[in-house]
Structure 1
Amino acid sequence: MEFRDLKSQYNKYKTEIDSAIHKVLADANFIGGEEVAILEKRLSEYVGVKHCISCANGTEAMTLLMMAWGIKEGDAVFVPDFTFFSTGEVVSFVGATPIFVDVDKDTFNIDTIKLERAIVKVLNERKLTPKIIIPVDLFGLPADYIEIEKIAKKYNLKVLEDAAQGFGGSINGKKACSFGDAATTSFFPAKPLGCYGDGGAIFTNDDKLAELLNSLKVHGKGDNKYDNVRIGVNSRLDSIQAAILNVKLTAFINHELDDVNRVYKEYTEKLKDVVETPVIPEGYISSFAQYTIKLNNKQERDTLQSKLKGEGIPSMVYYVKPMHKQGAFSENKYEDKDFEVTNKLCDTVLSLPMHPYLNAEEISLIIEMIKHVFKTI
């Protein structure tokens, strides 16, 4: 059994994927080919924004925005404590200070009440200048952008939606990657929409920002790549990955998002009285990058994971260490008591196999095994 079954996906779309790759090989147009332009247009239309700027990966997508917005030493950027390292890394990379904020115990996303408290605290200390909020659409569920955007407006902050895991999610019909001043996503293979390597994209309705980003991602180019008007980076999505993503995007739209939500409903219906299952607020749709349950304590979580492994059922812990305890951020001082929810989640969450190609037999096996384990512990 696969945790995220890319093999079944490939076998289903083998003809289309192989054909798309072979076309790029035959055309020998490997960088910036028509496949990239087609993908960017399709992605912007799907999300509902004016511009999609593809790049090398999701981390660089956020880094490019840090550069475009001039974020630097002395600036404060607010980041959820329970997330992947890169969301805080891009802040420190440009010399700014990540301010970690505890998360909501039900949605796993940034706690908006604690977010505002953190902003006020930074303002009162007068050591840093608040600049950006980076909410993360964790495990596929969009963050609470209704409240986040109100807070951002109140304190004159930008919002960068980190939708690395969230592509395909929505709030009242408004798609992930369309919130805030700009949004980013990742095409890492295991993401809801993934390629066969690294890839990422930025989404925005800001014409000038899009123009600047298209320059920054190609060595700060001006009219052409040999006219360099600013210092930039080399961060491009290659044509083969774009060709693969064009095939996968069609599958994602046609059935994959619906299929992962079918699996979510099956899991939740059968497990809700056994473990704490994911909470999806009314009006929200998750793209379920992960299906994450909560156990009562670390021992119970670790026992369940071990028993599942013994039966050939893979599972993962996202995340074993909170951001504020990462050694890379040790020069910043954080109070452990400010992260009560995150600290507990790191000890109690477990993600089960989740992808559009889970069949009824596999789902039933996972559910019955979890029920069996809880009869013995």
Structure 2
Amino acid sequence: MRCEFEIAWKTVLGHGRFVSGPEVEEFESSFAEFCETKACVGVASGTDALVMILAGLGIGPGDEVIVPTNTFVATAEAVCLVGARPRFVDVLADTLLIDPDAVVAAIGPATAAVIAVHLFGQTADVDALVPVARRHGIALIEDAAQAHGARLRGRRAGSLGDAAAFSFYPGKNLGALGDGGAVVTGDTNLAAKIRLRQDHGRSVADRHLHEVLGCNSRLDTLQAAILSIKLADLDNANAARRHAMDQYRRQLPEWVRPVATHPDAESVHHLAVVRVEDRAATTAELDRHGIGWGLHYPIPCHRQPAFREFADDLPIAEEAARQILSVPMFATLTDAQVSRICEVLSKAPM
């Protein structure tokens, strides 16, 4: 793949269109097709993708957006950046994804949208949320930053709601060589609004005419070229992650509990998240053997200082935050490496 990257770099260097080059349109077309939807607009980051969707839907001051508290802060951050208020809700105890019943209970007169976060590589149960959103006339947005290629009942993440936001941060399943993101949607009118906004509100007909207040949030040409190369192998890489997760499930000690996968979901396992009772002792054992680990996420959004005004009592997410642990997961993880990790975990204090 390195050779393909070098060819892409030489091609972009040759034509010199580092912004809005032909590779951007090519990637947008390919990624929309991959997500089984109509339109894709490349933007500068996954956070910007969420902001663009919210703004494109006309969500702003006076509106409230329902957000699962177990997510990266960017989800809630985007809501605040358009002037709306996040309404945090709890998650399901098994998958740690948004609880549809909690969404129903949280809907009020100011509710304008719900963001279903496809965390850890697994889609939220969007099918349970669609009738709720339609009944109340609110938008259903997918935060698919960790779910490139994931499926729910056979359908791709990105094709399940009104619009979806993707991140191409380097560590993602489909990662660029820097920041990047995209909006995908089946609503071509919404896509056109977002495309207008992400390039300074510039008119398609006259580049000197700015029709709306916009911003500078474009996917770089080089990043688009790199993403197209990696997209071609994404399904294979995701299959390798699923194999690695299967190996974990077979070999992890009983007291290390993997986060569940919904029976109708096909996860792409962006992260391999487990729950343990004594996280400090477990991570110390991993450290002792030179095995990396992470925490996603030890402080729920509603307990973050930045969102203290939106704090609530959300016990399932709070309990999980004390127990979760991310063990190594990547497409080239070998069976031998998984066995070694599980062996070390079995020696850690319970």
- Interval of TM-score (by shorter of Structure 1 and Structure 2): over 0.9
State whether structure 2 residue 161 is matched by structure 1 residue 180. yes
State whether structure 2 residue 332 is matched by structure 1 residue 351. no
State whether structure 2 residue 205 is matched by structure 1 residue 227. no
> Which AA in structure 1 matches 2:312?
E
CA separation in 1, counterparts of 2:72 and 2:274? Answer: 18
Helix, strand or coil for the counterpart of 1:105? Answer: coil
Match of 1:322 in 2: 300
Of 316, 323, 341, the match for 2:316: 341
CA separation in 2, counterparts of 1:108 and 1:192? Answer: 20
Match of 2:343 in 1: 368
Q: Is the 8 A contact 2:253 2:345 kept in 1?
A: no
Match of 1:5 in 2: none
1:205–1:354 distance in 2 versus 1, CA, 3 Å: same
> Which AA in structure 2 matches 1:369?
V
> Which AA in structure 1 matches 2:315?
E
Shift of 1:250: 1.1
Shift of 1:372: 1.7
Q: Is the 8 A contact 1:35 1:243 kept in 2?
A: yes
CA separation in 2, counterparts of 1:315 and 1:346? Answer: 15
State whether structure 2 residue 15 is matched by structure 1 residue 27. yes
Greater than 6 Å deviation, 4+ residue runs: none
> Which AA in structure 1 matches 2:337?
E
What are the ranges of 5 or more consecutive residues in structure 1 without an aligned counterpart? Answer: 1-12, 124-128
CA deviation digits over 1:255-296, x for unaligned, max 9?
Answer: 101100000100011116341113112221111110100112
Match of 2:94 in 1: 106
Match of 1:248 in 2: 230
> Which AA in structure 1 matches 2:127?
I
Superposed counterparts of 1:188-207, under 5 Å: 188-207=169-188
Task: Name the structure where helix makes up a greater proportion of residues.
Answer: 1
CA separation in 1, counterparts of 2:168 and 2:117? Answer: 15
CA deviation digits over 1:153-184, x for unaligned, max 9?
Answer: 12111011000001111012100011111111
Q: Is the 8 A contact 2:197 2:214 kept in 1?
A: yes
CA separation in 1, counterparts of 2:103 and 2:191? Answer: 28
Of 270, 277, 282, the match for 1:304: 282
Of 51, 76, 89, the match for 2:39: 51
Shift of 1:330: 2.1
CA deviation digits over 1:206-243, x for unaligned, max 9?
Answer: 12111111100000011243210110010000111011
> Which AA in structure 2 matches 1:341?
I
State whether structure 2 residue 99 is matched by structure 1 residue 118. no
Helix, strand or coil for the counterpart of 2:111? Answer: strand
Task: Give identity over the alignment, percent.
Answer: 34
Shift of 1:110: 0.4
State whether structure 2 residue 73 is matched by structure 1 residue 85. yes
CA separation in 2, counterparts of 1:284 and 1:272? Answer: 24
CA separation in 1, counterparts of 2:262 and 2:134? Answer: 23
CA separation in 2, counterparts of 1:335 and 1:151? Answer: 22
> Which AA in structure 2 matches 1:90?
A
CA separation in 2, counterparts of 1:282 and 1:321? Answer: 28
Structure 1 length as normaliser, TM-score? Answer: 0.90
Match of 1:131 in 2: 112
CA separation in 2, counterparts of 1:63 and 1:234? Answer: 12
Shift of 1:67: 1.4
Q: Is the 8 A contact 1:218 1:225 kept in 2?
A: no
Structure 2 length as normaliser, TM-score? Answer: 0.97
CA separation in 1, counterparts of 2:299 and 2:255? Answer: 26
Q: Is the 8 A contact 1:140 1:166 kept in 2?
A: yes
Helix, strand or coil for the counterpart of 2:117? Answer: coil
> Which AA in structure 2 matches 1:340?
P
State whether structure 2 residue 115 is matched by structure 1 residue 142. no
Q: Is the 8 A contact 1:91 1:98 kept in 2?
A: yes
Q: Is the 8 A contact 1:219 1:225 kept in 2?
A: no
CA deviation digits over 1:296-332, x for unaligned, max 9?
Answer: 2xxx112111110121100001111111111112233
> Which AA in structure 2 matches 1:45?
E
CA separation in 1, counterparts of 2:106 and 2:333? Answer: 41
Match of 1:4 in 2: none
CA separation in 2, counterparts of 1:156 and 1:250? Answer: 37
CA deviation digits over 1:72-120, x for unaligned, max 9?
Answer: 211110000011001001111121110000001111110111111111x
Helix, strand or coil for the counterpart of 1:330? Answer: helix
CA separation in 1, counterparts of 2:200 and 2:325? Answer: 41
Of 220, 227, 238, the match for 2:220: 238
CA separation in 1, counterparts of 2:227 and 2:101? Answer: 38
> Which AA in structure 2 matches 1:335?
D
Of 256, 259, 276, the match for 1:278: 259
